[in-house]
Structure 1
Amino acid sequence: MYLACERSGQYRATKKVKHDGNNTSRITGTKKCGCPFDMRAHRFTTHDEWTLTVVCRLHNHPPAEHLEGHSYAGRLSKDEKTLLMDMSKSMVRPKEILVTLKQVVQRAGRSQMQHLLGELAKYNYIERHRSEESMMTVTDLFWAYPTSLDLFRSFLRILIMDCTYKTNRYRLPLIEIVGVTSTEMTFSVTFAYLQYERVDNYAWMFATLHDVMDGFVVPTVIVTDRELALMNAIQKIFPSARHLLCRWHISKNVLTKCKKMFETQQKWEKFNHEWNSVVYSSSEIQYEERLKSLLKEFSSYPDAVKYVMDTWLVPYKDKFVAAWTDTCMHCGNVTTNWAESAHAKLKRQLGSCQVSFQASFEKIHSLLELQHTDIKASFEKSLTVVQHQFKPSQFRELRGNVSISALEYLLVESKRANSIGIDVEACGCVLRHTHGLPCAHEIADYIRQDRPIPLATIYSQWRQLHISICNKEKETEVTCHAEVELFVNKFNESDRTMRLELLKKLKEIKKRPVKGNEKVNPKGKAYITRTVKPGAYVDAFPAGLKPYIKFVKDVAANGNYGFRAIAASIGHTEDDWAQVRRDLLRELHTHKEEYITLYGSYERFEELTSILSYFEDSPGYSHWMTMPDMGHLVASCYNLVLYHLSLQQCFTFLPLRTVPVPQLDRREIAIGFVNGNHFVQPGHPVPPIATNWRKYRHPCAVDWDDAYVRRIQHFKDIIHDNVATRETFDVVDVA
C-alpha cells in the first residue's frame, strides 16, 4: 500500500488545449505541486500486522490551513450515508437533505421568543435585545455568530446591508448585514429583528455591533439603499465611514418613476442611456459635460429631469456617481446585490413566509454553517490550486499568497497594460483606487523591468486567506485570602526582630505606587505593561503633542508588544502578531536587494531576518521590534502611513513603492515608544518624513508626502530640537 500527499505528482492534461481567440473551454487548475512525501505499508501474511516504511517525510508546501475544500475531509460518515440513502429514497429534495445532515432539531415547551433566545445561547451566539419593561416584550433583537464576527474582523472594510420582509409570521423585518471576503464570497455578519424601521432602532443595532466589536473595528465603506432612517443612523454611529447608495436600486427607481413619462420605448431607452452615462462618469468634468447634455437633450421632459435631479443627483451624487465613488476603495461593491443574493438564499430555505422564529433560526444557523464551510474551502483553493491562466511569470509572487479573485482582476488589467503601457493618464488608475490592486500602467512598468508583480503592492484584504480568531481571555477573580493567612501565621510564629522586619516590608509595599508591571531591557529603558487609564502614557511623548492624543489602546505584555500593536492598528486582533511577523518577513525578503541598500549592509538585513523569524511567546530582547528600521517595512507592507512617536525621536514612514492613495482613503496609524497603541485625532502635527524614504522610494511614490507639508511644519513649530527627527539610532520594541 502506498500513502502519499494529495498534492504529490504533476498535472497531466487529458485533452489538448487549443490556444485560439475563440476558445471557450473552461478554466482549469491543479493542486499538484510534486510533493515528495511518501510512505509504504506492507501487511504480513502470517499475522494481522503491518510494517510502515517512511520513504520521504518532507512536504514541499505548508500544511493546509483548512480541512474544508479537501475531498478526504468532505466524506460522509457511515451514519450520514445511511441517512442520505433513506431520505433520497423518500424523494426528499437535496437542499433539505443537506440541512438535515447539518442539524438535529430539539424542541422544548417554551414560547417562540424564549425558544429562540435559548437556541442562541445553546450555539454560543452573541445576543442583545431590548424590551418593553411594562409588558416584558422583546422589541428589538440582535444576534451574531462568533465565527461571523471573526470573519468581520478579518474583512472589515466593506459592509452591505438591506432589509428583507416576509421571513416570519410576526411580520417583523429582518435586517441582515453582509460582508465580503478576499475570495469575493459573502458572509452574514449579524442579523436583527427590529420593531420599527426608525432611526432609533437602526442606531441601536449599529451601536450594538460597535460594542460587540470592542469599539475598535469600524467599517470604512457601507452600502445601502436610500432608506433615510438607516442613512441617518449610519451617520450617527459610523460618521467616518464612506456611505454609498446602491446603483441597482437607483436604476430601478428611475425606471419605475420615469419610464411612464415617455411616449415611446425608443425615447425612454435614449434617456436611460444618457442617465447611465452620467452615473458612470469617470471624472467631475466629464460628469458636468454629460449632465449638461442630458438637461439639454430632454428639456421637453421636465418631470423626468426634475426627478433625477432633485431626488438623486443634487443630494446624493457623491454616493453613487463613479466620479466620486471611485475615489474610495470599495473593492467593486457599489450595489447591495450581495445582500439581495443572501436574502434570496434564505427565503428559498424558509419556503414560507409564515414560519416561526424557531424554524427561521434553524434555517439561518444551517446557512451560516454551510457559508463558513464554503468560505474556508475558497481560502484553501486560493492557497493550493494554481490555475493555468496564472502561470505567467508576472504572477510568480502572488500565486498561493493572494485570492484567485484578485488574480482575475490583475489578469484583466494586465491585458489592458499591453495597449496602455506606462501612460498614467490613459490608465486612470481606477483599479488601484477602488480595489487596492496594481493598475495597468504599474503592471506595464513591472513587465518592462522584467519583474513579477510585488506582493507588497496588493492591498492586505486580498492577501487575507484565513479567519482571524479572537480569543478573549476570561477574567478571573484575584484574591489574597490564602496569602494573608500565611502571612499572619508567619508573623505570629516569629520573634520580635523578624516581626519588625515583616512590618517594614509591609510599609514599603504600602508606600509603593500601584502601576503597571515594568520590564527593563539591557539598555535601561522601561516598558510599561497593560493599564486601564487612558492618560497613563501621555507623559511618554513630547509635551507639544499631548493636546492631540485622543485615546490610548494598550496591548498585552509578552515581548511581542510592537507586533501586537501593529496587528491591532490594521484591524486584526492582538493575537495576530505572528501574522504581522510573517508579513514583514515576506516584505523584507521579497525586496531583499532594496532593503540591503536602504539599511546599508547585509549584516543588518540578517539581523532583521533573525528578529522577525521568531514566532514563540515571550521572545528575548534580541527579537523585539526595532525602530526606525521596521517602520519602512510596516508602511510598505500594508501600504499605510505610520507615525512613530516617543520622547527620543519621531518619524513619519511612507510606502516605498506604491502610487499615493487618495487622502480620504489613506490608512494612518500611530504607535508610541511605550507598551500601547496610540491613536491621535485627525489633523494632528505630523513628524518629519524618515530620511531613508526620500533616498530610496520608487518614482511612483514621489507624491505621498505632499499632503503633510503643513502638518510637518506645525510639528517643528511645537516640538523642541532635543527630539530626533532623523534616522540616527534604534529604539527597541515600540508597542
Structure 2
Amino acid sequence: MSISGVRPRDILTHLKNRDPTNVSSLKTIYNARSRLRLQETCGRTHMQQLMKLIYEHGYIERHRAEADVEVVSDIFFTHPTSIQLIKAFPLVFMMDCTYKTNRYRMPLLEIVGVTSTGKTFAAAFMYLHGEKEDNYTWAMECFNSLFDGSPSPKVIITDHELGLMKAVATVFPMTINFLCRVHIWKNVVKNCRKAFSDVDTWNAFMGSFADVMRSNSERTFFKNLQLLDDGYHAYPNVISYLHGTWFDKHRERFVTAWIDRHMHLGNTSTNRVESHHAKLKRQLQTSMHNFVGSWQTIHNLLELHISEVRASFEESLTRIPHRFRGHLYQDLVGVVSIYALHKLEIEISASDGVGPDSDICDHSLHTTCGLPCAHMIAEYKREGCPIPISAVHPFWRKLGITPFNENFTDEIDFAPEIELLLKRFNDGNAVQQKEIKRSLQKLTDPSATLLLEPTASVNTRGRKKGGKNRSKALAEKSTKRSPSGFEYVMQSAENSNHVAHVGPTQSLRAQYYQRDKRVKMVMQKSKILHNRSVGSGAVYMSEFSSFLPPFINNVYDVIGDVHCGFHVVAMFLGMSNEGWREVSNDLLLEIEEHPEEYQLLFYGLDHVEEVKRSLRCQSSYAHRENWMTMPEMGFVIASCYKVIVVHISKNQCLTFFPLRDPPPPISVHRILGLGFVKGCHFVGLDFTPDAPLPPAALSWIRYRLDQASGWV
C-alpha cells in the first residue's frame, strides 16, 4: 500500500476496518514503513536506490553532476511507454516548470504531449539545478535524443521564459515555439490592471486586447491593433508595454493570424501540462520527498495515465456514438478517433453557413488540425459522398502507440563499437584502463553509482514548534504553489475597486454560501418566477418545431443584450436585472469545484478555460465568445442549481440533468426552459405539465455519477 502511494493514516484506517481488534497506531505504521525501506535498499545509497528502480522499470535516464564532486545537479528520466508515445504523436508538446515537489527545492520541468484521442501524456521529467539557459539546453538535448529518427515536433508551447525559449530555438531550430496565451493574458493583467480605475473601461480594454490576439488575418491584426492604440492612447505606458513586450517581438508566437498557419491541434496554452502538475501534487501530498519518493509517485501516476490512454484508443476503435452514424462519418468511425469526430461535428454545423466557397471559409481546422474545413465538408455534402479517410491527417488515424515510421526490421548492432572500445582499452595506460572500466561499471550496474543526492534545502532557523512557527513549517511542506503576480494584482484591485471582472469580491466561503442559498430557494419554490420578463415572447413561437407550441405555456422574453442567456437563468431564480452577474459567478464556482468532470465533458482543459474566461466577463459590454454556449452551459446550470435544463432550438433539443445529485421527489422537480431564437437570443420557456422532454445529452449519460442515474 505504501508503494501505491497510500497515506499512513489511510493504511491504518484500512487495517482497523478489516480487523476492529487491531491495536496498531500511526507510529506502528511509520515504523513498519521505515523497516521496509531499509530492507528494500539493502545498504544502497539514495542515488544507488534511485538508479536501481529506474533501470528495473526500463526508464531512460540522463544526469549531470557538479564539477569536481559527484553531487547530481540535473536529472532527466522518461517512462519506456512515454518514448513510444513521443514517437507515435510527435507533433505538439507543452512544457513548464513546477515547484514545491521535492526537499531539494529543485524546479521540476515536465513535458507533455497530446494523443489522437485528445489525451495528455507525460513525455519526460527533469529536475534542474537552476532555470538558466544552460540547464534548459541540456534538458532539451536529452528530450531531443528520444525522437531518434522520428519527426521533430511541429509546435512546442512554453511560457515567456527566455532561457527556455532560447534552448528550444537552439535544439529544435525547425520547431515553432508558441507562447502560452493564458500566461500572456495574466501578464497583461499583472502589468496593466493598475492603470485603469474604472472597471468597465478595464473590461473593454481587455476585450480589445482579445480582439487583437484572436485576429485571424494579418490585415485584421493591424486593423484591431490600430483600434486598440487609438482607443487607449490616454494610457501610453500600457500601449508601450503591449508593443514592446508582446506585439512587436512575439506576435508570430500567439496571435491567431500566425499560429493558425501551423498544425497545433487546437493547443494554444500550457494548460495541459499545468493540469498534470496539479494531479502530480495531489499524489505527492508533501514537498519533502527525496528523489526516490518523488520518482515512485510519478511512476504510479504514469502507469494510471498510460492505462487511460490505452483505453481511449480502444474506445475509438470499438465504440460508435449514435451521433456519428450518419452518412458523412461512415468511412471514419472506428478508424479516426472520437475526439477528431467531435471536432468535425462542429465544423459540419458551420459548413451550412459557409457552403463550398473557399473564400468565405477560414480554413483553420484544416491548417491547425489536418481535418476537412467547412467549405470542403460543404462540397462533400453537395456531392452526396461521405468524408474520405484521405482527407484526415494520419495523426488522427493512429489509435495505438506504434511509433511513426519506425522500421522494426532494423537490428541494433554495436559490434563495431565494442571492437573500438577493446582497442582503446588495450592501447591505453593503466590510468586510462581504470577510467574505462569505471565508466563501463556505471553502464552495466547503475545501482553501483557513486553519485550523491543534493543537500536538502530546509530552513534551519528559528524554533520548530508552536503557533506561527508550526504554520510556517506546514507551509514549507505544502505542495501548493505561491500566488502569482497576476493574482496579487487582481486581489488588490478587488479590495480597492470592487472589481467584478474575475469573480465576486466577497470571500470564497461567502460565495458558496450565497450560491447554496439560491439552490435551496429553487428547490423550495412552488412556481417559477417571471417577474423580470420584458414582455411576451409569443412572437418567437415560430422559431420552434411545429409540434412544440401546444406544450409551451408561455415564452418569456428578457433584455436583449449579450448576457441574455444568463438573464433567463436569473429570471428563473427571481433575481434582479443585475442577477446575471451572480449567475455567472455561481457557474464559475461550479466548474472550479469539479474541474476534472468538466474536462471530460468539454473534451479537454483548453475548452474548460475558454468557458471559465467567458463566465468571468462581468461587463455589460462583451464579445461573442462570452455569450452563453450550449451544450456546455446546460451541464453546468443543471448541476449547479440541481434543476432540469431543457434547451430548445432549431438545431438541437436536449435535456440536461445534474451530474452528481440524486433526484428529489417528482413533485419538487424544477424545469428551466431555455429557448434559442433568431440565432442570437435566449428566451425563457414555461412548459405544460405533460410536455415531453427532449433526449438526455449523451455526455450526461456517459459521465454522470451512479447516484444521478435516477433522473431518467
Q: Could you tell me how far apart the structure 1 residues matched to 2:380 and 2:146 are?
A: 43
**What residue number does 1:346 align with?**
280
Residue matched to 1:473: 411
Report what 1:288 is aligned to: 222
Does residue 107 (structure 1) correspond to residue 107 (structure 2)? The answer is: no
Structure-2 residue corresponding to 1:416: 350
Cα distance between partner residues in 2 of 1:440 and 1:221: 24
Report deviation, 1:116. Answer: 1.7
- Whichever residue aligns with residue 236 of structure 1, its letter is T
| Residues 377-414 of structure 1, C-alpha deviations (whole Å, 9 max, x = no match) | 00000000000010111000000000001000101110
Aligned to 1:383: 317
Deviation per CA, 1:627-685, whole angstroms, max 9, x where unpaired?
xxxxxxxxxxxxxxxxxxxxxxxxxxxxxxxxxxxxxxxxxxxxxxxxxxxxxxxxxxx
Q: Secondary structure at the match of 1:232?
A: helix
SS in structure 2 of the partner of residue 428 of structure 1: coil
Report the CA distance shift for 1:287/1:110 in structure 2 as closer, same or farther (over 3 A).
same
Equivalent in the alignment of 2:379: 445
Contact 1:161 / 1:224 at 8 angstroms: preserved in 2? yes
Letter of the 1:388 counterpart: H
For structure 2, the 5+ residue unaligned runs are 1-10, 21-35, 418-712
CA drift of 1:212 comes to 3.4
What residue in structure 2 maps to residue 148 of structure 1?
82
**Aligned pairs (5 A) from 1:602-641:** none
2:171 to 237, 253, 257: 237
Q: Give the C-alpha shift of residue 319 in structure 1.
A: 0.3
Greater RCO structure (CA 8 Å; 6+ sep) = 2
Query: Residues of 1 paired with 2:269 and 2:19: CA distance?
Result: 41
SS in 2 for 1:427: coil
Give 1:254 shift. 0.6
Identify if the C-alpha distance between structure 1 residues 452 and 356 changes in structure 2 by more than 3 Å, giving closer, same or farther.
same
1:162–1:340 Cα contact (<8 Å) kept: yes
Partner of 2:110, secondary structure, is: strand
Shift of 1:200: 1.2
Tell me how far 1:232 sits from its aligned partner: 0.4
2:212 equivalent to 1:274: no
Residue 306 of structure 2 is matched in structure 1 by: 372
SS at match of 2:178: strand
What is the CA-CA distance between 1:114 and the residue it aligns to? 2.6
Structure 1 residues 440 and 87: alpha-carbon distance in aligned structure 2, compared to 1, 3 A threshold: farther
User: 1:473 corresponds to which letter in structure 2?
Assistant: E
1:579-602 CA deviation, whole Å, 9 max, x = no partner? xxxxxxxxxxxxxxxxxxxxxxxx
Q: What corresponds to 1:692 in structure 2? A: none
- Does structure 1 conserve the Cα–Cα contact (< 8 Å) formed by 2:96 and 2:158? yes
* Distance in 2 between residues matched to 1:254 and 1:87, nearest whole Å: 53
Question: CA separation in 1, counterparts of 2:110 and 2:292?
Answer: 17
Q: Which residue of 2 aligns with 1:463?
A: 397
Cα distance, 1:90 vs structure 2: 9.0
Q: Is 1:264 matched up with 2:198?
A: yes
Residues 463 and 87 (structure 1), Cα distance of their counterparts in 2 relative to 1, 3 Å cut:
farther
CA contact (8 A) 2:101 2:289 kept: yes
Distance 1:292 1:358, change over 3 A: same
Are 2:139 and 1:205 aligned?
yes
What per-residue deviation string (whole Å, max 9, x for no partner) do you get for residues 440-465 of structure 1?
Answer: 11111001111000001001111100
Larger deviation: 148-157 or 467-476?
A: 467-476
d(CA) in 2 for partners of 1:284 and 1:476?
52
Query: Residue deviations 1:561-619, cap 9 Å, x none?
Result: xxxxxxxxxxxxxxxxxxxxxxxxxxxxxxxxxxxxxxxxxxxxxxxxxxxxxxxxxxx
Q: Could you tell me how far apart the structure 2 residues matched to 1:361 and 1:372 are? A: 16
The count of corresponding residues between Structure 1 and Structure 2 is: 386
TM-score for both structures, normalised by structure 2: 0.52
Query: In structure 2, how many angstroms separate the alpha carbons of the residues matched to 1:297 and 1:206?
Result: 42
> Matched residues in 2 for 1:290 and 1:217: separation?
37
Q: Is the 8 A contact 2:313 2:400 kept in 1?
A: yes
Q: Kindly indicate whether the alpha-carbon contact (under 8 Å) linking 2:87 and 2:150 is maintained by their aligned counterparts in 1.
A: no
In the TM superposition, residue 115 of structure 1 has moved relative to its aligned partner by: 2.1
- Map 1:89-100 → 2, pairs under 5 A: none
**Cα distance in structure 2, aligned partners of 1:119 and 1:301:** 57
User: How do residues 556-705 of structure 1 correspond to structure 2 at under 5 angstroms?
Assistant: none
Q: Does the alignment pair 1:397 with 2:337?
A: no
- Higher mean C-alpha deviation, range 206-215 or range 448-457: 206-215
Distance, in Å, in 1 between the alignment partners of 2:231 and 2:372 is: 39
> Could you say what secondary structure the match of 1:107 adopts?
helix
Structure 2 vs 1, CA of residues 137 and 452 (structure 1 numbering), >3 Å: closer, same or farther?
same
Assess if the C-alpha contact under 8 Å between 1:225 and 1:246 holds in 2.
Answer: yes
Contact 1:247 1:320 in 2 (8 A): yes
Cα distance in structure 1, aligned partners of 2:49 and 2:106: 17
Q: CA deviation at 1:208?
A: 1.7
SS of residue paired to 1:189: strand
Residues 83 and 123, structure 2, Cα contact 8 Å, conserved in 1: yes
Distance 1:476 1:282, change over 3 A: closer
User: Identity of paired residues, percent?
Assistant: 42
Letter aligned with residue 450 of structure 1: G
Distance 1:83 1:123, change over 3 A: farther
Aligned residues of 2:61 and 2:78 also touching (Cα < 8 A): yes
Q: Find out whether 1:331 has 2:269 as its counterpart.
A: no
RMSD: 2.3
**Shift in Å at residue 170 of structure 1?**
0.4
Distance 1:249 1:137, change over 3 A: same
Per-residue deviation at 1:89?
Answer: 5.4
Distance 2:151 2:83 in 1: 10
1:241 to 1:117, Cα distance in 2 relative to 1, 3 A: same
Inter-partner Cα distance in structure 1 for 2:91 and 2:415: 37
Q: Return the letter of the residue paired with 1:107.
A: E
Q: 1:194 is matched by which residue type in structure 2?
A: L
Structure with max Cα Rg: 1
Aligned residue number for residue 623 of structure 1: none
Name the structure 2 match of 1:188. Answer: 122
User: Equivalents in 2 of 1:261, 1:427: separation in Å?
Assistant: 39
**Alpha-carbon spacing, 1:89–1:426, altered in 2? closer, same or farther (3 Å):** farther
Trace 1:46-57 onto structure 2 (pairs within 5 A). none
8 A Cα contact 2:86 2:147, kept in partner? no
- Correspondence 1:310 to 2:256: no
- 2:231 corresponds in structure 1 to 297
**Residue 426 of structure 1: which of 347, 351, 360 is its match?**
360
What does the per-residue CA deviation read over 1:412-460, in whole Å, with 9 as the maximum and x for residues that have no partner? Answer: 1101111211121221111001110001111110011110000010011
Shift of residue 88, structure 1, vs aligned partner: 7.1
Q: Give the one of 58, 65, 80 matched to 1:131.
A: 65
Q: What is the CA deviation profile of residues 197-232 of structure 1, one whole-angstrom value per residue up to 9, with x for unaligned ones?
A: 111111111112222332544111100001000000
Q: C-alpha distance in 1, partners of 2:194/2:170?
A: 37
Instruction: Give distance in 1, aligned partners of 2:281 and 2:386.
Output: 45
- Would you say the 8 A contact 1:210–1:217 is kept in 2? no
C-alpha contact 2:320 2:334 (8 A) present in aligned 1 = yes
CA gap of 1:473–1:406, structure 2 versus 1, over 3 A, is same
Q: Distance in 1 between matches of 2:172 and 2:294?
A: 30
Normalized per residue, the structure richer in helix is: 2
Matched with 2:152 is: 218
Amino acid at match of 2:144: H
SS of the aligned residue for 2:157 comes to strand
8 Å CA contact retained: 1:173, 1:195: yes
Deviation at 1:112, TM superposition (A): 2.9
Cα deviation, residue 474, structure 1:
4.4
The 1:409–1:88 alpha-carbon spacing in structure 2 relative to 1, beyond 3 Å, is farther
How far does residue 324 in structure 1 lie from its aligned partner after superposition? 0.5
User: Is 2:373 aligned against 1:435?
Assistant: no
Q: Contact 1:437–1:459 at 8 Å: present in 2 too?
A: yes
1:243-254 aligned within 5 A: 243-254=177-188
Flag the 1:259–1:414 CA change in 2: closer, same or farther, 3 A. same
